[in-house]
Amino acid sequence: MKLRELYTILKDVLKEASESPGSEALSILSKVTSQTRERLLMNFEEEISEKVCQVAISLAKKRASGYPLQYITERCYFYGLELHVCEGVFVPRIETEILVDLALELIEERRFKVVADIGTGTGCIAIAIALRSEGEVFATDVSEKALEVAKRNVERYRARVQLLKGAYLTPLLPVLSDVQLIVSNPPYVPTGAKLPLDVLREPHEALFAGEDGLEFYRNFFSDPSLLTRKTIIMEMSPEQEDPLRALLKDLGTITFFKDQFNRTRFFRLDVA
């Protein structure tokens, strides 16, 4: 079978499950043939072995069942970076790139030298910041698997990121007095929310945060004395603006920011 014919089959398998079946078919072909998408298009008349065809069709069916494409290809893209990802680790979203923009603007404006990323996952936020600033970056996660993936990505880009294991501020306590800026894309989805099948395949501890989605924030800000004179930038859900304003109003000055789709998606808290 030729690559072109296999591509047509994969696209047909994916058409009901994907908004971009052609692009996803190319991603799967790239995975099974170890060729770039560009080279695949140049070699579309190339003959492919039956074994490769079977693997590709099997992966396409797996994707069509609701399995995340990024877990199949073991790749995701964030802030111009190609990152390794695998099952059990949260897949970065394009909206979160704005969080990096906000952090970098503040680092330059206020000359921050020490930054911490809480719940780093693939390491995407920490790596993007480290590669575009001159300070020290710490990144934490409770998941051993996430830290293994982050380590691989940090090493690939030779990023100045120190990885630590633990929840909330605990792993940062020895250096917390030096940390000036804390960033995070935490879990903020209410436990009863209905999510797409592929999202539900991601680690639930990286998605859900209690009945109202605010559990992470309550725990993180439970001891404000640890955050005195620090700046925190976090991602949130658009409908959480009022609850977060109420939760954090006595801690300092809070400012909200929108994402690329004009939805309130981030807040910055300058702790008094």
φ, ψ dihedrals at 89, nearest 5°: -125, 135
DSSP 38: H
Q: Which of 186, 187, 216, 266 is catalytic?
A: 186
Beta strands in the chain (DSSP E): 75-78, 81-84, 114-118, 136-141, 161-165, 181-184, 231-235, 252-258, 264-271
Q: What single letter denotes the amino acid at residue 49?
A: S
Residues whose CB is less than 8 angstroms from the CB of residue 166 and which lie 6 or more positions away in sequence, other chains included: 140, 142, 172
Residues whose CB is less than 8 angstroms from the CB of residue 39 and which lie 6 or more positions away in sequence, other chains included: none
Tokens coding 266 = 């981030």
Q: Residue 245 is inside which H or E element, if any?
A: helix 241-248
Task: Mark whether 185 is an active-site residue.
Answer: yes
DSSP three-state, residue 82: strand
Q: Which of 68, 185, 221, 267 is catalytic?
A: 185
DSSP lists the bridge partners of residue 186 as none
User: How far from chain centre, in Å, is Cα 155?
Assistant: 18
| Count of Cβ atoms closer than 10 Å to residue 67 Cβ | 17
Instruction: Find out whether 112 and 134 touch, Cβ atoms under 8 Å.
Output: no
d(CA 84, CA 41): 24
Q: Which of 78, 90, 138, 266 is catalytic?
A: 90
DSSP 92: P
d(CA 230, CA 178): 10
Instruction: Find out whether 138 and 116 touch, Cβ atoms under 8 Å.
Output: yes
Active site residues: 90, 185-186
